[in-house]
């Protein structure tokens, strides 16, 4: 296992290099001039060529693109991810301020989805083709069919019209004001968790139905074991393996894919920061955030593989 982990970690290097080249190239070919945008944005309607050249030199844009790339990657390796063009703060500090909220939102989403999806999927499998199964399948299909921004808008409309209440607008840190923070984040987590719980429920139903037809499950029934023991102790352990993959990959996707929810609920997370950086063409921030997302996805895949081997002793990695 240790050899396998080392091998996978070494495979991260070419993947991250490829992603870094891709995002670096994209940010250099998108339309617009960063130096001119800074001058115009600062209110300098009239500016001299000297001012333009000075900003270009400060940003390092006068260097050949290959030199710019190696300067940036060299800084990434040494822990210097550059500075935000508009805030002037180090990129790592900007990410450090935004990432905890996104991490909290993603974690709450996964917890909610598991609390909803697993029992619903088990119920659908155990009560297959009954009215309980039909109702649960309709609920889960709704989660798959409805866009998360529509669910969020519907939740907000109900809160405003039915209860005359809206979540607090001003962002609050969890450790400073946990109650206000939860009032803000829980609704976005519920909207995202409904979608993920639908996926988990459908997958749990499919895999559990397949496992329940296995010979060892028939043996457990023949031994007179209770239904709860057969389902939870024997069948669910084997049925949960594909769900581990879904949850692991979805968790990584949530960390980098909560952009819409953060914008909708005014949550200053990493997705919110990415959208602002793209609009401002703040390429050090965009490059840093995208590279962070890539690393999270790679680590999530590795952790899923390790968890597979832990849950199923038959899985061995050479």
Instruction: Supply the pTM of this predicted model.
Output: 0.82
Angle in degrees, 0-180, between the axes of helices 283-311 and 2-29, rounded to the nearest 10: 160
* pLDDT tens-place string over residues 101-152: 888 888 899 999 999 988 898 888 888 888 888 888 888 888 878 887 788 8
**pLDDT score of 21:** 92
Considering the chain, tell me which residue range(s) the CATH 1.10.3720.10 domain(s) occupy.
Answer: 92-311
CATH T-level assignment (fold) for domain 92-311: MetI-like fold (1.10.3720)
* pLDDT tens-place string over residues 227-239: 777 887 777 777 7
238 vs 25 pLDDT, higher one: 25
């Amino acid at each position: 296992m240790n050899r396998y982990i080392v091998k996978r970690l070494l495979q991260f290097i070419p993947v991250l290099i490829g992603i870094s080249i891709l995002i670096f190239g994209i940010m250099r070919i998108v339309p617009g001039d960063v130096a001119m945008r800074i001058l115009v944005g600062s209110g300098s309607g009239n500016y001299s060529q000297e001012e333009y050249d000075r900003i270009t030199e400060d940003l390092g844009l006068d260097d050949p693109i290959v030199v710019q790339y190696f300067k940036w990657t060299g800084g990434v390796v040494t822990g210097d991810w550059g500075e935000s063009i508009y805030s002037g703060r180090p990129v790592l500090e900007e990410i450090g301020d935004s990432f905890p909220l996104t991490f909290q939102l993603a974690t709450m989403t996964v917890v909610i989805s598991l609390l909803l999806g697993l029992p619903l999927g088990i119920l659908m499998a155990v009560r297959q083709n009954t009215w309980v199964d039909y109702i649960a399948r309709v609920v889960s299909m709704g989660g798959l069919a409805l866009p998360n921004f529509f669910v969020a808008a519907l939740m907000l409309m109900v809160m405003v019209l039915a209860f005359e209440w809206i979540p607090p607008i001003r962002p609050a840190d969890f450790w400073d004001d946990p109650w206000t923070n939860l009032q803000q984040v829980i609704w976005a987590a519920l909207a995202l968790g409904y979608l993920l719980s639908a996926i988990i429920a459908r997958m749990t139903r499919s895999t559990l139905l397949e496992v329940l037809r296995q010979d060892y499950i028939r043996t457990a029934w023949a031994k007179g074991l209770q239904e709860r023991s057969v389902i939870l102790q024997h069948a669910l352990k084997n049925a949960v393996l594909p769900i581990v993959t879904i949850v692991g990959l979805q968790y990584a996707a949530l960390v980098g894919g909560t952009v819409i929810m953060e914008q909708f609920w005014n949550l200053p997370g990493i997705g919110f920061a990415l959208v602002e950086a793209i609009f401002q063409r703040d390429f050090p921030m965009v490059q840093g955030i995208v590279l962070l997302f890539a690393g999270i996805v790679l680590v999530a895949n590795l952790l899923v593989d390790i968890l597979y081997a832990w849950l199923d002793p038959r899985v061995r990695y050479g």
